[in-house]
Amino acid sequence: MRAVAAVMRLPVLPRSAVAGAVCAGALGGAAGLVLGLRAYPPTAWFAVFEVGIPAAMAGGIVGLVAGSVVLAVRRLGDTGRRRRP
């Protein structure tokens, strides 16, 4: 739970990148395990890393782009509203 709380305290961009990397890395690792077990079971754990690490990197990049879009939309929405003193 401490890890989740630490991630939730991050700003939007790093938080999005971490979320994307974790989600895609977990899915990539699971897919690598299945592929490795079907291809050659004694080396299945290497396939977990062989597929999971690139998936995590791609997920981090996608999460970073998604976080950038969120920030851009927030900033565009804030420009129309001016605060009165």
The pLDDT tens digits of the residues spanning 7-35 come to 999 999 999 999 999 999 999 999 999 99
**Identity at 78, one-letter amino acid code:** D
Short-list 34, 54, 53, 52, CA closest to 44: 34
Task: Indicate the pTM of the whole model.
Answer: 0.83
Over 45-81, what HEC string results?
HHHHHHHHHHHHHHHHHHHHHHHHHHHHHHHHHHHCC
**Cβ–Cβ < 8 Å for 54, 65:** no
pLDDT confidence band for 77 (50 / 70 / 90): confident
